[in-house]
Amino acid sequence: KKKKRKATHMSTSKDSRGHGGTPSDVTQNQIVLYGSAFLLGVSIQRWLRSQLVNGRERLSAPAARAAQWTAAMRAVESMDGSALFNDDMAERMAGKRMFRRCLNLSAKVPLDHAGERLNKISEVALGTWWFDRQIMTLLTSNSLHSAMGWLSARLRNSARGLAGPPRQVVSIGSGFDTRPWRMAMPPMTKWLEIDTKEVVAAKLRRLKACNAELKIHSNTGYYPLRTIQWDIHAVDIAKEHLDFGKLMDMYGLDLDSPIVWLVENVLWFLPPERVKHVLLHMSAVSSPGSIVIGNSTVNRGAELLGEGKHGSYPADVVGHWVSSLPGRQEDLHVALQEAGWDLMESCSQEDIAETVCNGRDISSMCSGGVGEDVCEGEHRPEDVYFFARKV
């Protein structure tokens, strides 16, 4: 009987091991299984998040893709040892896919100028440098700087009056701009950005991925906020009506104080009637001393694509340029006057390139045909950069 019981016990033990072993073995296997599943889930979540913040999310609107492309070109410029500016966040803002695309397309400086730069200066870099210069001059001094030199004392005095330098900036169609983090702003500067819902949502995700500080003195970001206040508002100004007065009040801006309005790389995406409407509305809510800084193409996208004159700008972006402003200063003055602004000065991209290159060969230093006689007016769009004061 004892031998029979022992044989039965051994048989039962073998059967139990055959179906998973002892209870302690089963528990350990479950722990390993659940732990592996948890780690796999965390890894998938992080991978999906990296796809979003690295720009593999596909922005659908043309203006949104243009904003990505602009950020990528700023990132390419920031890589250069002689960069016109330093935008550390631009690569993350653009996303890896767009950054690689722009880096591969960047024109290289000829060998006889290789010691000065690695890549040629792009149209975006020239424009960004010009806007940086105007913004900082307006916010920090009682004079305005043009691409060609200092404005006359009469214009300098009338631009500001007794109000003092502005401390409010409103950027329309801001895209993935990072000036509130990369530029040394004067104290008490407030910064408000306006763009579409798609761009605003993507920008907020990427700012968080960059660990950028969104509120002053929160001490939560790797990139500190350089303005006392930064806000972003989602609205499509190409289609939706925007009450700037209510918007300024909503975000605590003072309508009795001067405002610096930025319309950088945005007017050409608006229908012609909307360009005038937006500029008029901006002027209507602005106090004396307010300034608009902007740029536009002189030709519409369809004309440029039809004649192959879009330079290094992506064709899928240029095709959606539906508006333009006159290139001649007299005509531009009339167009802005009708929209409530008095033109103070305008310049072309060639003018900006001349200032940046400072006597060096422009065609060797700049891309997109800037400074090349054979390309001027033939293979690249004509741009106009301007600043104007409230009428």
Q: Kindly give the confidence (pLDDT) of every residue in the chain, 391 residues in length, as a single tens digit, with 9 standing for 90 and above.
A: 555 454 444 444 444 444 445 556 667 777 778 778 888 877 776 655 554 544 455 677 888 999 999 999 999 999 998 899 999 999 999 999 999 999 998 888 887 665 668 889 999 999 999 999 999 999 987 545 444 444 444 344 444 444 578 999 999 999 999 999 999 999 899 999 999 999 999 999 999 999 999 998 777 778 999 999 999 999 999 989 899 999 999 999 999 999 999 999 999 999 999 999 999 999 999 999 899 999 998 887 777 777 766 666 778 888 888 999 998 899 999 999 999 999 999 999 999 999 998 888 888 888 866 655 433 434 456 889 999 999 8
The predicted structure's pLDDT at residue 57: 58
Amino acid at 193: E
C-alpha closest to that of 93 among 77, 72, 114, 110: 72
CA 211 to the chain's CA centroid = 17
Is 169 within 8 Å of 259 (Cβ atoms)?
Answer: yes
The predicted structure's pLDDT at residue 58: 65
The predicted structure's pLDDT at residue 114: 59
At residue 3, what are phi and psi to the nearest 5 degrees? -60, -35
The predicted structure's pLDDT at residue 45: 63
C-alpha closest to that of 105 among 122, 82, 93, 86: 122
Q: Which two tokens stand for residue 21?
A: 């072993």
pTM (two decimals) = 0.80
The predicted structure's pLDDT at residue 49: 55
The predicted structure's pLDDT at residue 313: 78
E strands in the chain: 168-172, 190-195, 229-234, 260-263, 291-297, 341-347, 383-390
The predicted structure's pLDDT at residue 163: 52
Angstrom distances, CA of residue 156 to CA of 32, 165, 246: 73, 11, 30
